[in-house]
Amino acid sequence: MPELPEVETVKRLLAPQIVGRHILEGIALHTQVIAHPGADAFCDALRGQRVQGIDRKGKFLLMNLESGDYIVIHLRMTGSLYVAPPDFPLEKHTHIVLKLEGDRELRFVDMRRFGRMWLLGKDEEDSFSGVKKLGPEPFAAEFNGSYLQDALSNKSRAIKDCLLDQHIVTGIGNIYSDEILFASKIHPQRPASSLSAKECQRLSKLIPQVLLRAIEQNRISPEEYLKEKGQGYRSTPFFQVYGKKGQPCPACGEPLCRVMVAGRSSTYCPSCQK
């Protein structure tokens, strides 16, 4: 599943290709992707609107339109978005096509169809997408050691589980929680409330560092991104521990272990992470 660094990569790639352009037509090939309003209303409302900007909140993308309306997009497991010329072959699992001025199309492709789009009116209350319930961004000034210590102080759940909780901090999923905990030398099963002030401080600094580094490593040209059809931008070769059970720890050489935490698989170093 794309996590904050991947969604940020998509945002940075799409922005120069779509911002400032008018949407000529919206086509919903599979309507279930549109969670709000209905597919017809969605397509009707978009016609003629100009894309003013694209933003990210946690793992959500927000496409802002000049009218003040905006589209909230969640890629979920396998969703991808890319801009292509109209004659670029249409993939099998293409669900939404937004025809833009300047002979280009913004396409939403999703093999597993868990990805969703919501169109919100300028003054409409967003009680649909979940964006309003998100906790702070890892890069926000309010996300610091004392915030984290407060947020974790009454949580007996494992720290890995808390990092996945989008109300505590947004954008982290299974991959980057493993990477962050390895960088922080914290065992994924530690009860969150057992973290010291010093550990919370360190964790609050390492979270944005690990994510920023991944954003840098994800860097891809628009040409390469299109060739990969909006996939293939993940910084997989750079992962330190995620998915590397049995391989030597990059810090100490001990074999990495895997454990289930709150139903999610977690890879860690038993010697480095306490």
Positions marked active-site: 2-3, 59, 264
Number of neighbouring beta carbons within 10 Å of residue 136: 18
Is 93 marked as binding a ligand? yes
Of 75, 74, 31, 67, give the one whose Cα is nearest residue 50. 67
Number of residues that bind Zn ion (CB under 5 A): 7
Q: Is 272 in the site for Zn ion (CB under 5 A)?
A: yes
Q: Is 186 in the site for Zn ion (CB under 5 A)?
A: no
Nearer to Zn ion, 195 or 272 (CB): 272
Give the pair of three-digit tokens for residue 7. Answer: 């969604």
Using CB under 5 A, pick the residue from 41, 140, 252, 260 that binds Zn ion: 252
Q: Is 249 in the site for Zn ion (CB under 5 A)?
A: yes
Cβ of residue 256: shortest distance to Zn ion, in angstroms?
8
Considering only residues 101 through 130, tell me which ones interact with Zn ion, judged by CB under 5 A.
Answer: none
Nearer to Zn ion, 149 or 189 (CB): 189
Cβ of residue 274: shortest distance to Zn ion, in angstroms?
11
Is 155 marked as binding a ligand? yes
Nearer to Zn ion, 78 or 240 (CB): 240
**Using CA atoms, how far apart are residues 261 and 86, in angstroms rounded to an integer?**
45
CA 262, 267, 269, 273 dihedral sign is negative
Stretch that binds Zn ion, among 94-102, 173-181, 206-214, 250-258 (CB under 5 A): 250-258
Maximum Cα–Cα distance across the chain: 59
Asked if 259 and 188 touch (Cβ cutoff 8 Å), the reply is yes
Nearer to Zn ion, 89 or 246 (CB): 246
Stretch that binds Zn ion, among 1-9, 68-76, 117-125, 266-274 (CB under 5 A): 266-274
Nearer to Zn ion, 66 or 254 (CB): 254
Give the pair of three-digit tokens for residue 4. Answer: 């904050």
Q: How many residues does the chain have?
A: 274
Q: Is 271 in the site for Zn ion (CB under 5 A)?
A: yes
Cβ of residue 210: shortest distance to Zn ion, in angstroms?
16
Cβ of residue 216: shortest distance to Zn ion, in angstroms?
24
Q: Is 251 in the site for Zn ion (CB under 5 A)?
A: yes
Q: Is 241 in the site for Zn ion (CB under 5 A)?
A: no
Chain positions contacting Zn ion, by CB under 5 A: 249, 251-252, 254, 269, 271-272
Q: Which residues are annotated as a binding site?
A: 93, 112, 155
Q: Which residues are annotated as a binding site for DNA?
A: 93, 112, 155
